[in-house]
Structure formats: C-alpha cells, structure tokens
C-alpha cells in the first residue's frame, strides 16, 4: 500500500487489479486462473458535490411547498428585539426562506407609486416645487430598514406601513384644502416649511439642554413638521445632524427632512411609551390601562402617540379625519385596497385618551 498526502491528510491508494501489470500476478497462477475482484471506488469530491446539491434541492422544494400560500399570509413573522429584526419562525428563518431577509422598501414601493401618491406636489399651487423626490425618501428609509421600518412582516404589512407613514406626511404637508382638481389627497408634500411663522419657537426652559442658536428660528419644517428648539435638538441627536444650530437643513435637504420624519415615527416620544412603528406593526403590547383608554395596535393609535390631544380624544374632528382619508387613499393607489385598513374603530382615535396631554410636563427624546 502506498499513501498519498493531500492537504495534510493521508489517503490510502491501491492499484486496481485491472491496472496491475501482468508480472504482478503470482507465479502460482496463470492469467486464466486469476479472478477479478469487483472494484470499489472511494467517493470523490464530485460525488459529495452532487449529494449536497440534491439535498439543497429537496430542502428548497419542501420549503416552497410549505410557503406556497405565503403571499396571502398576513401574520407578522419578524419581530424587533433590542433594535434588531428577529425572525420568529424557527427553521423557516433559514437563508432560503422569505422570512430570513424581508424585502427592502424599494422592492415593494417603486418610483411610479411615489409619483402616484404625490402627483400634485410640483404643481404651481405648491410651495416646495422640485424639493421632494423618491430618491430622497429611499435614501432616508434605508437608514431605518435594519430597525424594521418598512421591512417588518410580509409584503402586505410592509406596504401598509409605508402607506401609513406617508399618510401622516401627506396630511401634514398638503395644500389640498379647497382644491378639487385631482382630489384633495393628491397634494401631499406641497410644503416643506411653515408659511409666515408668527414666532421663532424658542423655549428658554431648555436653555441648558437645547439652547436656541443665535438668529435661529424653530418654526415648522420637514416631512413631519418639527417645531420648537427642544424638538429640533432631540431630532438632531437622533439622526446625528446638528439641527439645533442649523434648523434650515430641514427645508434645504429632502433626505434629511425624510430622515427626521422617519426617526420620529420609529422613536417613542416618552419613556415607557411605544413608537408609532411599534404600534402599527404589532410590536407593542398594550397594558390594561391602554385597553381601557381604547388604545391598541391600530392606525388610530399612531395618531395618538404622535399628536396627542391635538388630534385624538376630541371626537370626529377634521385633522384626524384628514389623516385617515390620506391613509385609505394611499392604500388604494398602492394596490393594497382600503379594505385592508380594518374597521373604522381601528382607524379612528376620536374616543381614545391622549398619550401626551398638553397639561403634562414637556418631555424630549434623544437617542
């Protein structure tokens, strides 16, 4: 027996009887008397490769069979844990499964859909012509996709969250009041700043934490308009941009404006409160007090946590209904359909107790 060394491992190598020279036959045997033994071939790398390929094909077919109806599955398969997405479906979280790595927002929300939602933003009546665009939104969204923004759950939940977030944006930046051409909900992203502000929104109560910069004014700016120095300071800390000294960035850079809005959507306003994102995708678990206050994992509660009593707990008021109408309109345009929004009780916050009543102490949140 000879041994051949390969990769620091010894492999025994034997000549096959068919390859042995005639002189190797015993002198006590003749050629006619020699008996051929069956040849045993050791497994080759090609054999291992074929076996592995076959196993992968079997596993893939089995996975496809199990998830054949996954497109219609509305169950949330991805949860957020300590800031990271966590798949909760066991072995289905393997790399070949759709639950392993959800699609990005650009996979489910295309440029033509953005144009459909905000089709009148560059018309003569608008005040931010040429400012807002799809590319800026996608760049900002990509920074929060790892935290679950627009990437939590299956495709249906992903599209619903995009529609919900943009419904808040569209309603808060619309100039569609009294406009009939194209419908009042086509005029989102008409503004990027408050027109004719009456004050500079500088609150000296926060002069040590977020002191007002000389000459700066903190009027409403952005996709979800930010007011007051302490809110600019908190948002700036959150997105790592100095908005306290440069509040004008929110009306000069659309990506920063979208980024600040998504940060607000993803970040609780107060400790021990949920973010709008966690409410909407079902990460939040309402307490008994929340249930008694009619707050739950609903679109209506996202308005409550973002605006408090200015929008919620006041009955059927126009600011609330405008946001709801934008949401339903956007779901239709995205091909999801308003029927997926759920019953009216899940859309409204008319009878909810406000999360952050104006009488409570001011609180800022920074990350």
Q: Which residues contact 327 (CB under 8 A, 6 or more apart)?
A: 163, 164, 167, 299, 341, 347
Q: Which residues contact 131 (CB under 8 A, 6 or more apart)?
A: 189, 192, 251, 254
Higher pLDDT, 72 or 332: 332
Query: What distance in Å separates the CA atoms of residue 157 and residue 99, rounded to the nearest whole number?
Result: 13
Q: Output the CA–CA distances (angstroms, integers) from residue 161 to 69, 123, 282, 325, in the order listed.
A: 22, 27, 11, 15
**Predicted local confidence at residue 176, as pLDDT:** 81
Average of per-residue pLDDT values in the chain: 81
Given a contact cutoff of 8 angstroms between Cβ atoms, the answer to whether 195 and 174 are in contact is no
pLDDT tens readout for residues 299-347: 999 999 999 999 999 999 999 999 999 999 999 999 999 999 999 999 9
**Predicted local confidence at residue 62, as pLDDT:** 52
DSSP 221: B
Query: What distance in Å separates the CA atoms of residue 147 and residue 20, rounded to the nearest whole number?
Result: 67
Environment class of 338 (CB within 10 Å of its CB; exposed 0-12, middle 13-18, buried 19+): middle
DSSP 81: E
**% of the chain exceeding 70 in pLDDT:** 69
Q: Is the pLDDT of residue 97 over 60?
A: no
Domain extent listing, the chain: 2-67, 105-347
Fold classified for 105-347 = Lysozyme (1.10.530)
Helix (H, G, I), strand (E, B) or coil at 198: coil
pLDDT tens readout for residues 242-299: 999 999 999 999 999 999 999 999 999 998 899 999 999 999 999 999 999 999 999 9
Number of Cβ within 10 Å of residue 198's Cβ equals 7
What stretch of H or E contains 163?
helix 155-172
Higher pLDDT, 106 or 23: 106
Q: Is the pLDDT of residue 30 over 60?
A: no
Token digits of residue 193: 């700043």
Q: Is the pLDDT of residue 165 over 50?
A: yes
Query: What distance in Å separates the CA atoms of residue 137 and residue 46, rounded to the nearest whole number?
Result: 48
Query: What distance in Å separates the CA atoms of residue 246 and residue 68, rounded to the nearest whole number?
Result: 51
């Amino acid at each position: 027996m000879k041994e051949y060394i390969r990769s620091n491992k010894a492999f025994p190598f034997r000549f096959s009887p068919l390859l042995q020279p005639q002189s190797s036959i015993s002198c006590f045997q003749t050629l006619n008397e020699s008996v051929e033994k069956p040849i045993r071939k050791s497994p080759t790398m090609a054999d291992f490769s074929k076996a592995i390929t076959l196993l992968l094909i079997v596993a893939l077919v089995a996975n496809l069979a199990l998830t054949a109806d996954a497109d219609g599955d509305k169950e949330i398969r991805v949860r957020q844990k300590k800031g990271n997405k966590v798949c909760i479906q066991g072995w289905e979280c393997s790399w070949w499964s759709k639950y392993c790595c959800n699609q990005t927002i650009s996979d489910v929300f295309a440029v033509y859909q953005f144009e459909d939602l905000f089709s009148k933003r560059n018309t003569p009546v608008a005040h931010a012509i040429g400012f807002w665009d799809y590319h800026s939104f996608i760049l900002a969204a990509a920074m929060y996709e790892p935290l679950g923004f627009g990437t939590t759950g299956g495709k249906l939940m992903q599209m619903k969250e995009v529609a919900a977030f943009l419904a808040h944006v569209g309603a808060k930046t619309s100039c569609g009041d009294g406009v009939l051409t194209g419908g009042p909900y086509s005029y989102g992203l008409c503004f990027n700043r408050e027109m004719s502000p009456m004050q500079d929104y500088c609150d000296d109560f926060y002069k040590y934490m977020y002191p007002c910069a000389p000459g700066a004014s903190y009027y409403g700016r952005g996709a979800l308009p930010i007011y007051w120095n302490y809110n600019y300071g908190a948002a700036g800390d959150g997105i790592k941009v100095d908005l306290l000294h440069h509040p004008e960035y929110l009306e000069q850079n659309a990506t920063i404006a979208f980024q600040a809005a998504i940060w607000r959507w993803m970040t609780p306003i107060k400790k021990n409160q949920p973010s709008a994102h966690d409410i909407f995708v079902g990460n939040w678990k309402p307490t008994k007090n929340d249930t008694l206050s009619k707050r739950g994992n609903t679109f209506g509660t996202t308005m409550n946590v973002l605006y408090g009593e200015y929008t919620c707990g006041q009955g059927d008021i126009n600011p609330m209904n405008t946001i709801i109408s934008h949401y339903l309109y956007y779901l239709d345009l995205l091909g999801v359909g308003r029927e997926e929004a759920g019953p009216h009780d899940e859309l409204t916050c008319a009878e909810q107790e406000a999360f952050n009543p104006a009488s409570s102490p001011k609180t800022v949140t920074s990350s």
